[in-house]
Structure formats: structure tokens, C-alpha cells
């Protein structure tokens, strides 16, 4: 099982560039989410999705877009990168409607905006 | 912020000692979970405790939950150098959004 796969692992962007962080899961999970982790801090929720075609904002959504056209994929788009978006980004998936609602995480994308 | 708070922020202990980390939150929860993160890696789920449970064990891990105080603790007994990592609590609120909100984390260093 691949679990949750994020690509790329590392990325350097110039201010104003756009890019898409990819996230795919093969566990048929309904719920997927994107977090950012800044040095010394916990994870902050950017956007999440409770199923294909349904997305919603988390705590820090500004500057990011998401879509969920399939159950498996949940890409995160940076529209116009800013230095404040330098961070490590994690994608997670879970099946919240049930006894076990643990989240499975990808290995992260380390993004630097210069 | 909806984030949970953890203390201590950092903890350094000798191998063989016990490590206790605490988590507080502000909302009503469905369950509370603990995750581990090795440096530069993704998070790995350790244990989940539901809102109607008070204590749960898994190997050397013991988790308690006090919903009246909106707090939880994670105890790692007989720590090993390999337990060195950051530990995060995360809680699932009672609303229907299924948002998993994380605490600020505790960095644990276990000295050999």
C-alpha cells in the first residue's frame, strides 16, 4: 500500500510564481486535508474535503486553492507565491465516519519561496 | 485560534525515565489523538481516545482524557533513545466538519 503520496518533496519558487502540490491516496478515504507546519509550531489546517466535489476552508486558507474531482486526489494550488508561504506542507487522509478516525499523512513537501 | 496547547514545549530526559506530555483544548470533542513526528518526516498515529473514555493503553503508551478540564496527557514509560521525536495531540470536534485540529507539539529528547 502506498498510503498518502505527496509530490514534489522539495520545491523552490520565486515570489509571484504559481504551482500545484500534488496529493494522492489509495485507501478510498473520504476525508482529505492540507496542513502547513512552520518551525517550532504545530500543524495548521489550510483546506479540507469531506468527499469528491466538496471542499472547505480551514484555519489559514488565504493564498491557496483546492479542488477534489476524484476521491483519490486533492491538489493544493498556490496562486501567487509569497515568502510567508515558505513552510512544510502535509497532506492527510482519513475515514472519519467510523470507529477509527486516525489520519494518515504524506511525507511532506518542503517549499521555499524566495 | 482553534489549536490545542501542549506543554512542555520541550522535554529532555534520560533513557529509562518516563515522559509525560499534556494537551489542552477549548471545544467539545469527538475524540483526541496523539501523533509522533520524527525530524523532517510525516506524522504517525500513535493512539486514539474517544470522548467517553478516560484512559487507554498501547504498549508503553498511556493516554488519559479529562473532558471536564478539556485536557489529555500522554505518558511514555521506560523511554528509549528511539522515542526522540515531536509529539502532537489532535482533536476531532463534535461538529460535522471532521476537521482534525492539532496542538503545538512537545519536542522530546531521550538521552542515551
Q: Test A42 with B105 for CB contact under 8 angstroms.
A: yes
Residue of B nearest to A87 (CA): B40
Tell me the C-alpha to C-alpha distance, in Å, between residue A2 and each of A30, A44, A101, B48: 17, 24, 19, 23
How many inter-chain contacts (A to B, CB under 8 Å) are there?
A: 72
C-alpha cell belonging to residue A106: 504524506
A90 closest CA partner among A4, A3, A27, A1: A4
Of B40, B99, B103, the CB nearest to A58: B99
| CA–CA separation, B64 and A111 (whole Å) | 36
- pLDDT tens, chain A, 114 aa long: 679 999 999 999 999 999 999 999 999 999 999 999 998 778 999 999 999 999 999 999 999 999 999 999 999 999 999 999 999 999 999 987 665 678 999 999 999 999
The pLDDT assigned to A98 comes to: 63
Residue of A nearest to B87 (CA): A42
Q: Which residues lie closer than 8 Å to B77 by C-beta, 6 or more apart?
A: B18, B60, B61, B62
Q: Is A3 helix (H, G, I), strand (E, B) or coil?
A: coil
C-alpha cell belonging to residue A85: 508561504
Cross-strand pairs, A114: none
- pLDDT tens, B15-71? 999 999 999 999 888 899 999 999 878 899 999 999 999 999 999 999 999 999 999
Q: Test B105 with A104 for CB contact under 8 angstroms.
A: no
Angle at CA of residue B86, ends B7 and B105, nearest 5°: 35
The DSSP bridge pattern shows strands B5-7 and B19-24 to be antiparallel
The pLDDT assigned to B2 comes to: 57
Angle at CA of residue B31, ends A35 and A72, nearest 5°: 45
| CB contacts, 8 Å: B88 with chain A | 42-43
Q: Test B41 with A106 for CB contact under 8 angstroms.
A: no
Residue with cell 512544510: A88
To test the contact with chain B by mutation, choose from A23, A35, A43, A68 the residue with the greatest count of B C-beta atoms within 10 A, namely A43
Residue of A nearest to B1 (CA): A59
Element (H, E) at A32: strand A31-37
| CB contacts, 8 Å: A106 with chain B | 42
Amino acid at each position: 500500500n502506498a498510503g498518502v503520496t505527496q509530490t514534489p518533496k522539495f520545491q523552490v519558487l520565486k515570489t509571484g510564481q504559481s504551482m500545484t502540490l500534488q496529493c494522492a491516496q489509495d485507501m478510498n478515504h473520504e476525508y482529505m486535508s492540507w496542513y502547513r507546519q512552520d518551525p517550532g509550531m504545530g500543524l495548521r489546517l489550510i483546506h479540507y474535503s469531506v468527499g469528491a466535489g466538496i471542499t472547505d476552508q480551514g484555519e489559514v486558507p488565504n493564498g491557496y486553492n483546492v479542488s477534489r474531482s476524484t476521491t483519490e486526489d486533492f491538489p493544493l494550488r498556490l496562486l501567487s507565491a509569497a515568502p510567508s508561504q515558505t513552510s512544510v506542507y502535509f497532506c492527510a487522509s482519513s475515514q472519519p465516519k467510523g470507529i477509527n478516525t486516525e489520519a494518515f499523512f504524506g511525507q511532506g513537501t518542503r517549499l521555499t519561496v524566495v | 485560534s482553534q489549536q490545542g496547547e501542549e506543554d512542555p514545549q520541550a522535554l529532555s530526559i534520560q533513557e529509562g525515565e518516563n515522559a509525560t506530555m499534556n494537551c489542552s483544548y477549548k471545544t467539545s470533542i469527538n475524540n483526541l489523538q496523539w501523533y509522533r513526528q520524527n525530524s523532517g518526516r510525516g506524522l504517525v498515529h500513535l493512539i486514539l481516545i474517544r470522548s467517553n473514555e478516560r484512559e487507554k493503553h498501547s504498549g508503553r503508551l498511556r493516554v488519559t482524557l479529562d473532558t471536564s478540564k478539556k485536557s489529555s496527557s500522554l505518558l511514555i514509560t521506560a523511554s528509549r533513545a528511539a522515542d526522540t521525536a515531536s509529539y502532537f495531540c489532535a482533536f476531532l470536534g463534535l461538529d460535522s466538519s471532521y476537521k482534525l485540529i492539532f496542538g503545538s507539539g512537545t519536542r522530546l529528547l531521550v538521552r542515551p
